[in-house]
Chains A and B, each alone.
Chain A
Amino acid sequence: MHVIETLVVSETALGSVPAQWDEARAVTSLYGEHYGTLVRLAALLVRDVATAEEVVQDSFVAMHTSWRKLRDTEKALSYLRQSVVNRSRSVLRHRVVVDRNAPMPPPLVPSAEQGAITELERSAVVSALRRLPPRQREALVLRYYGDLSEAQIASAMGISRGAVKSHTARGMSSLRTVLQLEF
């Protein structure tokens, strides 16, 4: 629960990122406040901690590169979140292609990351979430883990609020069906 509080508090405290900050200072500040939350968000989407970290680091680098292009630097967290969602989507798309063409054999010795993933998959909700379509999964994760509003989810996913409602409702229905079937 403290994660949600952290995210919400950080969202309100984000206005403290002044516009005159340079990119290095902004990256340092945003990293200290939101890196962990964003990595967890990405991990719930891509189901891989290492990949989630790469995704978030890519997003930070992209924000650092285009810091001067940001019209409203006070919305840096929104930019970061949207970047994380988009990059997670790209990772999943790429993973689908890779799995389709050359399936990787499972490693013989489970690594620490593999252990984390296994722990993740132990949760019935998370494993049911995994079966949902990507958009529905994104909407549910942003809604119930990120505790974002519909407008924020729409901004992060790059879709309309109506589409957010639709994805959330369908995802909840599918999740309920899957969980009722399992239990």
Chain B
Amino acid sequence: MTEPDQKFEEEIRRALCAASDLIVPAGDGLNKIRERTSRRPAALAWLLAYAINLPRQLARGGRMAASEVAATAHGYSSVGLVLASARRWPGRARHALRTPSIWVRPALATATALVLVLGVMLSIPRVRNQLSAQLASALGTSSNPGPGGEPSGAGAGGAQSSSATPWATGTATNIAGKPFLATMPPSSTQCRSQGSGGTATAHHSSETGYIPPAVGQGPSQTVGAGTNGGVAHLVGSAPLDVAAPGGMGPAPVSVTCSPSTAPAKPATSPPVTQLATTPVTSPTTTPTTTTSPTTTPTTTPTTTPTTTTSPTTTPTTTPTTTPPTQTNTSSTNNTASPDTPAASAAPTG
């Protein structure tokens, strides 16, 4: 550093010190500071101090535990000393209980943490519903209709799922040569078609297996989703897909009734093998399922509508009547997607 620089620095230093000498702070600074520090609520300061120290104490405890474990592993544990001191615990406990400052703070901190956790949990509707359902079931009340509630389904056919049983009990089989064949017990799911106009009903009750007719009009209907979240699709007298979207709603059911007039074509979609395993359905799968005519050509003209859609026809009998050409598939889960229909039949005959 050159000499002019040093001179300049000295000049700046002198000027700054001379300017600062003019500043005389007021004498009541300490009183103001004390007043402000004592203004804070004592309880808050108390809890804050504890909360600040808590992680440090936890870390210290962890270190002590680790060192104790290491000492135990090396054979010179201090467990004996601990046990010796443990004999004096009753007296210490009495002393601690008589001294609230020892236990009130942790107790309050624990209670506050519990209240916070409970508040956060109860503020989430899903968790709250689950808790209430579990409480209701624990108390022996089975009147919880589920978040879906009553299905609507008036007029246009309905999709109804019972929330008592999460999903239907139908079984799906994959037979060689037949891409997909669902065999449903008579009481699980039925698909019914009435008339030529497509009056159809899709009703699923996993408890009773009863499928009452609903009034559906027109060749293509999107059956209204009930308040349980179920959605039924009905395309004429052809594919009927009933599925309940996921969430906490009840059983997703996929029912497909193939039309009897469609030409036979090889199945274009791979067989769905993951059936009755995943009850959760995304709502996007149901509205568009099997609504296009291109997805229905899996049936042959030989299939009569009565075999597929009569109320007395069960899914187990339907494949046997028209094994090679027609398939009435009932699926109890929602793996059917718009791109991969749940039911497809290959003309094996």
A binding-site residues for B, Cβ under 8 Å: 1, 3-4, 23-24, 27-28, 31, 35-36, 39-41, 43-44, 49, 52-53, 56-57, 60-61, 64-66, 68-69, 116, 119-120, 123-126, 129, 140-141, 144-145, 147, 172, 175-176
Query: CB within 8 A of A43: which of B23, B32, B37, B53?
Result: B23
> In the complex, what distance in Å separates the CA atom of A40 from the CA atom of B24?
8
> In the complex, what distance in Å separates the CA atom of A126 from the CA atom of B11?
11
Which of B13-21, B214-222, B308-316 contacts its partner?
B13-21
Q: Number of B residues contacting the other chain (C-beta, 8 Å)?
A: 30
Asked whether, in the complex, the Cβ of A124 is within 8 Å of the Cβ of B15, the reply is yes
Asked whether, in the complex, the Cβ of A68 is within 8 Å of the Cβ of B17, the reply is no
Interface residue? B107 (CB, 8 A): no
Query: CB within 8 A of A49: which of B25, B30, B40, B49?
Result: B25
> In the complex, what distance in Å separates the CA atom of A64 from the CA atom of B37?
7
* Nearest-neighbor residue (CB-CB) of B15 within chain A: A125
Which residues of B12-68 have CB atoms within 8 Å of chain A's CB atoms? 12-26, 29-30, 32-34, 36-37, 40, 49, 52-53
B213 to A: closest C-beta gap in Å: 72
Asked whether, in the complex, the Cβ of A144 is within 8 Å of the Cβ of B22, the reply is no
6 closest A-B pairs by CB: A125-B15, A40-B20, A39-B25, A145-B16, A144-B13, A123-B19
24 contacts between A and B (CB under 8 A): A3-B17, A3-B20, A4-B13, A24-B34, A36-B24, A36-B25, A40-B23, A44-B16, A53-B29, A56-B29, A65-B40, A68-B53, A69-B52, A116-B22, A119-B19, A123-B19, A125-B11, A125-B12, A125-B19, A126-B15, A126-B16, A144-B13, A147-B13, A175-B12
Asked whether, in the complex, the Cβ of B33 is within 8 Å of the Cβ of A44, the reply is no
A88 to B: closest C-beta gap in Å: 14
Asked whether, in the complex, the Cβ of B19 is within 8 Å of the Cβ of A120, the reply is yes
Contacts of B9 in A (CB 8 A): 144, 172
Query: CB within 8 A of B36: which of A40, A61, A66, A129?
Result: A61
B287 to A: closest C-beta gap in Å: 54
Contacts of A43 in B (CB 8 A): 20, 23
> In the complex, what distance in Å separates the CA atom of A24 from the CA atom of B52?
17
> In the complex, what distance in Å separates the CA atom of A2 from the CA atom of B18?
10
Asked whether, in the complex, the Cβ of A27 is within 8 Å of the Cβ of B19, the reply is no
Asked whether, in the complex, the Cβ of A119 is within 8 Å of the Cβ of B22, the reply is yes
Q: Which interface residue of B14, B19, B26 has the most chain A CB atoms within 10 A?
A: B19
> In the complex, what distance in Å separates the CA atom of A48 from the CA atom of B29?
16
Query: CB within 8 A of B30: which of A28, A41, A119?
Result: A28
